[in-house]
Amino acid sequence: MTEQDPRRAVEPTTSTPTPRSNFASRKGMWSKGAGDTSGYGGLQRDLAMPGLSEPPFDDEHDAIHGRALQVLPGLTGARFLFDRGELTIYVPREQLPETVRAFRDDPHLRFEVCVSVSGVHYPEEKGAELHVVYHLLSYTHNRRVRLEVTCSDDDPHVPSIVATYPMADWHERETWDMFGVIFDGHPSLTRILMPDDWRGHPQRKDYPLGGVDIEYKGAKVPAPDNRRTYS
């Protein structure tokens, strides 16, 4: 009789990870000081980042988790989050270049493609206000994984991964353009959406929504803070 794989003897986790304690509350849909034209001015939400998940997850993600710890001992103690069938690995930013190389080159991982690089801004999460999220795809094994790196507003630096994934070039430029994350080692970190002389980074949550009327086909659209506010 063949011995059963112990991972198959355990039901995969389907529960949502326990969130960390709330770090802030938010009222309405938009940033502070702007007119709320959405009609959601009475909405109030508690903000909390998801906590940590412990394996077993499922066969596919257990294989990624186990192999990542084998080839990257520095990830021991890192936060793994398994939620809604997706695995996120929180990588210390100084380990990011080594991590993406291993995820691309190791035959048991073989994530050949970085599908996207994107930014997120959590101004209430002190010391980790800026997050950079990497979605990796393995053609060889037909699976995906998400890597996430954090940095602070005061030190918004993350190593570039363009040397490993050249297709990340314009994704990193867009993340810098929109969020202000500086990708050290990028070959040409310049604006890609906004004009070269634009000030600020428009997708940050502390970026002002108002103050500039938009010109479109000869007409002017009022800035958000001058539009009608619904109470």
Q: What is the pLDDT of residues 116-158, one digit of tens each?
A: 999 999 988 889 999 999 999 999 999 999 999 999 999 999 9
Structural domains of the chain, count: 1
* 29 within domain boundaries: no
- Of 5-19, 27-41, 161-175, 194-208, the poorest mean pLDDT is in 5-19
* 110 within domain boundaries: yes
- Of 61-75, 149-163, 188-202, 205-219, the poorest mean pLDDT is in 205-219
pLDDT value of position 71? 97
* 184 within domain boundaries: yes
* 230 within domain boundaries: no
pLDDT value of position 62? 95
Distance CA 173, CA 164 (A): 16
**How far apart, in Å, are the Cα atoms of 171 and each of 89, 119, 152, 157, 193?**
20, 10, 20, 15, 11
Query: Where residue 110 sits, what CATH number does that domain have?
Result: 3.30.460.80
* 226 within domain boundaries: no
pLDDT confidence of 66, banded at 50, 70, 90? very high
Phi, psi angles (nearest 5°) of residue 170: -75, -25
DSSP 135-186: EEEETTTTEEEEEEEEEBTTB-EEE--TTT-GGGHHHHHHHHHHH--EEET-
The number of helices, as runs of H, and strands, as runs of E, in the chain is 3, 11
Q: Which two tokens stand for residue 187?
A: 């070959």
- Of 49-58, 62-71, 113-122, 169-178, the poorest mean pLDDT is in 49-58
Q: How many residues does the chain have?
A: 231
* 216 within domain boundaries: no
Domain housing 119: 49-199
pLDDT value of position 48? 78
* 105 within domain boundaries: yes
Average pLDDT over residues 49-74: 92
Distance CA 174, CA 183 (A): 11
pTM: 0.80
* 70 within domain boundaries: yes
